Amino acid sequence: MTFDVPADAYARFMGRFSGPLAVQFADLAQVRAGQRALDVGCGPGALTSQLVKRLGAAAVSAVDPSVPFVAAIRSRFPEVDVRSGAAEQLPFTDDTFDVTLAQLVVHFMTDPVSGLSEMGRVTRPDGVVAACVWDSAGDGGPLDSFWRAVRDIDPDARDESQLSGAREGQLAQLCEAAGLRDIEPTSLTVTVWFPTFADWWEPFTLGVGPAGAHVAQLDEVQREVLRSRCEQLLPPAPFEIAASAWCVLARA
């Protein structure tokens, strides 16, 4: 499991993109005071923190299978109801939430249709189910330059483009198969600034997610070849990376 890493490593690698995305995603789902919300695949809490800000900790629940992430989010938000578990078998009763969200999670589910169907089950009738996944099949994901460099070196390498929901329209198809209603596809874009190339590269060496797992299995020479190819592909520092996510809003 590539999310069995310290919360701090995740924050440095993906949190810099998922933090700003969470603000836009919570806006898109129209999360507002008085609602009860569930963050599915909460990780160390990028979206949970937005939910807490808008709803108060007592109205927020969160669930994730990663042991270090669950420990981190429990200590960060002691009043949030944090559970250990997977989307495919959510540890909540039917119709519990007004809004259930999964930010950057559907593509990591073992069974995305049953995960989304479970999100619908725990959401009250007509409540909102929302999900988003980076555009890793196009050229809009935050790790696009990294995977392009990997493929330049090894055209057979497995990247994240084949993951469920990474292609335009796929999230909506999965929601439909999961029995959700009033499905509205859209997209969101965040921009992150990098002062130096090292700031961009170093978190790839922390073993987080499929990209981190790829770097971890390279020897020192291969790693240097990849690092240098990435540097060639990126603009000179400082630079910005715009990252887009496919999103879907649906009703339970």
Ligand X SMILES: C[S@@+](CC[C@H](N)C(=O)[O-])C[C@H]1O[C@@H](n2cnc3c(N)ncnc32)[C@H](O)[C@@H]1O
Q: Of 77, 117, 113, which is closest to residue 100 (Cα–Cα)?
A: 117
Residue number with the smallest Cβ distance to ligand X: 43
CB of 10 to ligand X, least distance (A): 7
Cα Rg of the chain, angstroms: 18
Output the CA–CA distances (angstroms, integers) from residue 171 to 21, 45, 46, 131, in the order listed.
17, 22, 21, 8
Task: State which residue, 110 or 228, has the beta carbon closest to ligand X.
Answer: 110
CA-closest candidate to residue 249, choices 12, 21, 30: 30
- Residue 200's nearest CA partner among 220, 171, 175, 227 is 227
Q: Which stretch binds ligand X (CB under 6 A): 97-105, 135-143, 228-236, 240-248?
A: 97-105
Q: Is 40 in the site for ligand X (CB under 6 A)?
A: yes
Q: Does 104 bind ligand X (CB under 6 A)?
A: yes
Q: Which stretch of DSSP H or E encloses residue 245?
A: strand 239-251
Binding mask 106-145 for ligand X (x = CB under 6 A): --xxx----x------------------------------
50 near ligand X, rule: CB under 6 A: no
Residues in contact with ligand X, shown as a per-residue x/- string from 174 to 213 under the rule CB under 6 A: ----------------------------------------
